[in-house]
Homo-oligomer: A and B are copies of this chain.
Amino acid sequence: MNIGIVGLGLIGGCLGLDLRAQGLSVFGVGRREDTCLRAMELGVVDTASVDLALMSQADLIFVCTPLGAIRSTVAQMIPHLKPDAIVTDVGSVKASVVESVSPLWPHFVAGHPMAGKAESGIEVAERGLFVDKPYVITPTEHTSAAAVEQVANVARLLQARIYQCGPEEHDRAVAWISHLPVMISSSLIGSCLSEPDHHVLQLAQNLASTGFKDTSRVGGGNPELGLMMATYNRDELLRSLLVYRGQLDRVIGYIEDKNWQDLELFLQQNSAERPKFL
């Protein structure tokens, strides 16, 4: 089976390294000539080109572009594809991708390998990035079981933990554990910055330790990623934010009412349940 990778960044690069190491032939398409050359130098692909016609060689194609480019990339690729070629993506939001890409190609299987690094780009690609990480496949009722199985087989080669669910379930789950935390965390930083007393703000900055550091970490990440989450997963993120505001209002109410018993119960329950997420 020949693998195609469109988009030679961190994820595309890591896929190429791992799958070539498994003996598969990997064909890559990048936007720039120099990225294509670098991908061959680094051993990420066997052959690379800026021309999507190269995908005529591939049986299973990973679209590793940013979310906003997935649909147009698939549309441009179609004239070159083998009739039975399976197309999958690695986007971090699934319902909008499934909705826009499924009508274009009958063998499209949406997926989300949940691994990453702080840095991006092909230069930081490495082997084993997906080992023991979730790989979510989100078929619809129209997706062929055989195509799903092909994608799952490759995810197994990557030694990922495979999950299968509907695209909406995926988007709701990642809103809770990935997209909501970014907004919560950024709002913490924004709140501190709004302290009007400069002396207190400076003191807070001097006293901040691991608690603040951890809680604010994802809010200190790439703003473009946060924006992408909000635009592509708007409905589920909004839903989670409104539930979150309700929880926050509970806490505020307990403290206003000096209802220490219920506040303690709230803190106890959440603390006790956290290990289920780890």
A residues near B (Cβ < 8 Å) are 114, 133-134, 136, 161, 163, 165, 169-170, 172-174, 176-178, 180-195, 197, 199-200, 203-209, 211-224, 226-227, 230-231, 234, 237-238, 240-252, 254-256, 258, 260, 263-264, 266-271, 273-278
Contacts and interface: CB of A to CB of B under 8 A. Distances in A.
Contact of A190 (B133, B266, B276): B266
B277 A213 contact: yes
A211 to B, nearest CB: 5
B245 A207 contact: no
A106 to B, nearest CB: 27
Top-8 shortest CB links A-B: A220-B274, A223-B267, A189-B270, A181-B215, A208-B277, A187-B247, A177-B208, A173-B203
Given A114-B207, A248-B248, A258 B234 contact: yes
A240 B184 contact: no
Given A114-B207, A173-B204, A204-B177, A191 B243 contact: yes
Contacts of A184: 184, 188, 215, 248
Contact of A188 (B163, B181, B238): B181
B255 A241 contact: yes
A203 B169 contact: yes
A134 B212 CA distance: 14
B220 A270 contact: yes
Contact of A244 (B174, B187, B214, B275): B187
Nearest to A216: B274
Nearest to A171: B200
A191 B187 contact: no
29 contacts: A114-B209, A134-B207, A136-B207, A169-B197, A170-B203, A173-B203, A176-B195, A177-B207, A177-B211, A180-B188, A181-B188, A184-B184, A187-B248, A187-B270, A189-B273, A190-B266, A191-B243, A193-B270, A194-B246, A215-B217, A216-B274, A219-B270, A221-B271, A227-B263, A227-B267, A234-B255, A237-B255, A238-B252, A241-B248
A190 B223 contact: no
A212 B271 contact: no
A15 B213 CA distance: 26
Q: Which of A134, A191, A238, A267 has the most CB of B within 10 A?
A: A267
B191 A240 contact: yes
Nearest to A230: B255
A204 B277 contact: yes
A209 B178 contact: yes
A203 to B, nearest CB: 4
B241 A274 contact: no
